[in-house]
Amino acid sequence: MTGIAISVLWFLIGLIILCGIVYLAIWVIEQFIMPIPQKVKQGVWVIVLLLALIALITALAGGGGGFRNPFH
């Protein structure tokens, strides 16, 4: 049970970092290159959330091969 909790916590840390990187990339593109249509931004966030959901289900199922504690 503790292993699942640790996997979920690492998942949440990774998700926060991923969302920050995606937000920063969208902001940079809009500021320096060209405005991004709202539908495209929504599509990007849907893809990010789908990937996050898949990763969370994998971590909860115990097969989280990509989500390991780096300090072990």
Residue 45 pLDDT more than 90?
A: yes
Residue 43 tokens, joined = 């599509």
What mean pLDDT, rounded, does the chain reach?
83
**pLDDT band of 63, cuts 50, 70, 90:** low
Which amino acid makes up residue 70?
P
Residue 71 pLDDT more than 70?
A: no
Among 70, 19, 25, 36, smallest CA distance to 7 is for 70
> To 10 degrees, what angle do helices 38-61 and 2-32 make?
160
pTM of the prediction? 0.73
